[in-house]
Amino acid sequence: IIFKQIVGRGSRLDASTAKAWFRIIDYTDATRLFDQWDRPPEEPLDEISGPRTARIEGTVTDADSGNLIVGASATILIGPNEQQGPKRTDQNGCFSFADLPAGTMRLSITGTGFRRRQVSVVTAQDSTQSIAVELKAESSLVEKVSVHGLTVTIADEATFQVEAMGTHMTLNQYVDYTREKVKDYTPNWSSLLSTWTDTTAREAFVQALEADSIYVQILSSVLLLPEVDACDLLAHIAFERPPLTRGDRADAFLNYQQRFLHQHEPLTREVILALLQKYRVAGVQEIANPQVFRLSPFREMGQAPGVIKRFGSIIALRDTLSEIQKRLYGVEIA
């Protein structure tokens, strides 16, 4: 099984990285145990007999612009060992196939710069079946998102490879996998919120997710939700909570926590507001990281020693940091 997994991982081809070949070295003749072909087969086409009086006419267009595609290649697979084409679309983006039997056959369309598309077509005797095929443009770049040594390649079909796991997942599969794992650790929203607002518990939770190859940063990238708070993103996936942004929570803090802010002296209030801005940009883990005090504007305050001096003690600073985190998530935002 292990050898088969190694072959499965190593035999993937990837045009984006110019990997077009692979070599298998089988020292122990383990390949003798492989099935002839153990992948679920495509639905086979049946042999079609009878009069060949059917016809297919079609046009090929760009799915984005609606423009006709000239020179696209069309092939019709009639049966297991019979096909017509390839034929090129003409100046009007049209193609046609004649002398076809009645039945179900498979039409494949390709075009330079476009993704291949395959559709099933049902023909009938003495009739012409018209079909319009839209092709989507290939992505000019295959985006790679890297976090903590894990690289995810986002392909045209919204699939990506988690290289450290040696497995391909669709985006939906990765989201479903994330949902299950989050619920395993925190079965409901209240449990997730309680875990997230406790620094120690949150760090352990995040480490557990990353051990399962779940990275909030990657999820925010592939779901196109880069501004959503990490806790709210997980809650959105696992419990269908609204995907609140860090800006939403920062604004709510400013609106609802004025009494808390004015309990502090101007110098400490300045620190709290600066931390809130850091949260708005990078999230709660940024303000819980002691390294944040090396950055501006804390650098101008004397870094960590200067900030501690403003609060009177490191314990007072830690208590305030903990309180900020709890209050950020303490208000229900519509």
Write the pLDDT tens digit of every residue in 42-81.
555 556 778 889 999 999 999 989 999 999 999 998 877 7
The confidence score (pLDDT) of residue 83 equals: 86
The encoded tokens of residue 108 equal 């494949």
Q: What value does the mean pLDDT of the chain take?
A: 85
Judge whether 111 and 65 are in contact, CB under 8 Å.
Answer: no
Amino acid code (one letter) for 322: S
The confidence score (pLDDT) of residue 149 equals: 56
Q: In angstroms, rounded to a whole number, what is the distance separating the alpha carbons of residues 120 and 100? A: 14
Least trusted range by pLDDT, from 81-85, 134-138, 145-149, 320-324: 145-149
Nearest to 81 by CA among 120, 124, 43, 47: 47
Q: In angstroms, rounded to a whole number, what is the distance separating the alpha carbons of residues 60 and 112? A: 12
Strands, DSSP E only, in 53-171? 54-62, 73-79, 82-88, 94-100, 103-110, 117-123, 128-135, 143-147, 150-154, 159-162, 167-170
Q: In angstroms, rounded to a whole number, what is the distance separating the alpha carbons of residues 190 and 277? A: 26
pTM as predicted: 0.60
pLDDT mean over 171-185 = 92
Judge whether 131 and 119 are in contact, CB under 8 Å.
Answer: yes
Confidence of residue 116 (pLDDT cuts 50, 70, 90): confident
pLDDT mean over 161-166 = 58
Asked if pLDDT for residue 32 goes beyond 90, the answer is: no
Q: In angstroms, rounded to a whole number, what is the distance separating the alpha carbons of residues 189 and 216? A: 17
For 54-135, CATH number? 2.60.40.1120
Q: Which residue has the tokens 């075009």?
A: 111
Confidence of residue 160 (pLDDT cuts 50, 70, 90): low
